[in-house]
Amino acid sequence: MNRFRILALLSLSVLLSGCNAVVLDPSGDVAGQQRDLLVASTLLMLLVIVPVIALTVLFAWHYRQSNTDARYEPDWDHSIHLELVIWAAPLLIIVCLGALTWMGTHLLDPYRPLDRTAEGRPVPDDSKPLEVDVVALDWKWLFIYPEYGIATVNELAAPVDRPISFRITSSSVMNSFYIPALAGQIYAMPGMETKLHAIINKAGTYEGFSANYSGSGFSGMRFAFHGLSNDDFAKWTEEVKATGGALGRTDYLALERPSENEPVRKYASVQADLYKAIVNMCVEPGKMCISDMAAIDAKGGLGMAGVNNVLPLTYDKYARRGSVLGPEQTYVAAICDTGEQASAPTNMTPVIEKTPLRPSSTPSETPSTTPVAERPS
């Protein structure tokens, strides 16, 4: 039996030797604060869990059948002192957990710019965050550095003690951007942009990956994150510029295609509006961007068959200054369905009503905005 226990302990120690407790020993200030919040919350909860487990074992042992010395009170059913202990202690712990969680939620908000580089070290006033645009592809990561005009695939680098501002999106399905040594995970979603502010305080190479399953190549969505000194980071950017190619819209469309276990790629130049086009899902030539669709919807929408009937009103066109439509709000005059369009005479002359379009509080006050047509005599 002793030999079996020794072998079991040795096997367990071998298995545990492969564990990497990076979450409890991070290298970034944000991840460190998250670690402290996790530890504090766990200790507060253990204040209830440990006594309950200990008392359960104690009561089971003390009131066992063979213990004839234990007090036997079958008619006992209530104790004010015991009720106070049972309810007051958990209530106080819940209040402490709530206050701790509330403060941590606001102080560690991923959208909130950093106000310190480490404990006791505020961010210098002249410090400029490193901007990195992150794109989750199938199944690889694209990192764009707008300040330097470069990009990399499956490799990320940042200077030590310099705040990093991530803008994160996805090309197709939801993923999760996660570097345990740096900060918590943030979702990457197509057609949307999420943000993360973080900082690395120790030089080294750390692992990053997707924490959200996204298909067959999900296990290969891993990349190296390099924490470098300012000089080493400058050398790294120069190396990318010297050895990389160009990343334009056509190149991105080829890169966007699903592939697994991609090697590191470097791009010495990136098209200026590429990330904006990726977020708005309009990298393909001739495709309308989501932001343009939203702007059209805000002005009343287009419909399907009545696109040609959406016209700027004459009084708006000549009365305003600036662009053709001017800075004021415009509205869709009318949308005709396909049946109306097919049955309309070809020799009709469209006439737009001159009544100004103004928002009103009641439907009855809304002026008529439907274009009318004069039939030829």
| pLDDT of res. 214 | 87
| pLDDT of res. 352 | 46
Mean pLDDT by 10 residues, the chain (377 residues): 61 55 86 91 90 91 86 83 87 91 90 90 90 95 95 96 95 92 93 95 94 89 95 95 91 91 94 92 84 76 52 42 46 50 55 45 42 44
What does DSSP assign to residue 5?
Answer: H
pLDDT tens, 84-114?
Answer: 888 888 899 999 999 998 998 888 999 999 9
Strand partners, 210: 177
Rounded Cα distance between 177 and 126, Å, is 28
| pLDDT of res. 362 | 42
| pLDDT of res. 339 | 56
| pLDDT of res. 14 | 52
| pLDDT of res. 160 | 95
Q: Which residues, other chains included, contact 99 with Cβ-Cβ below 8 Å and sequence gap of 6+?
A: none
pLDDT tens, 109-137?
Answer: 999 999 999 888 999 888 899 999 999 99
Strand partners, 164: 130, 198
Rounded Cα distance between 62 and 219, Å, is 52
Rounded Cα distance between 43 and 38, Å, is 9
The b-or-e profile of 223-262 (16+ CB within 10 A means b, else e) is: bebbbbeeeebeebbeebeeebeebeeebbeebbeeeeeb
| pLDDT of res. 127 | 87
| pLDDT of res. 15 | 52
DSSP string of 262-314, one letter each residue: PPPEEEEEE-TTHHHHHHTT--STTPPPHHHHHHHHHTT---STTGGG----H
DSSP-based three-state secondary structure for 141: strand
SS3 for 345-356 is CCCCEEECCCCC
Residue length, the chain? Answer: 377
- Token digits for 71? 């007090």
**Closest CA relative to residue 156, chosen from 176, 130, 137, 120:** 130
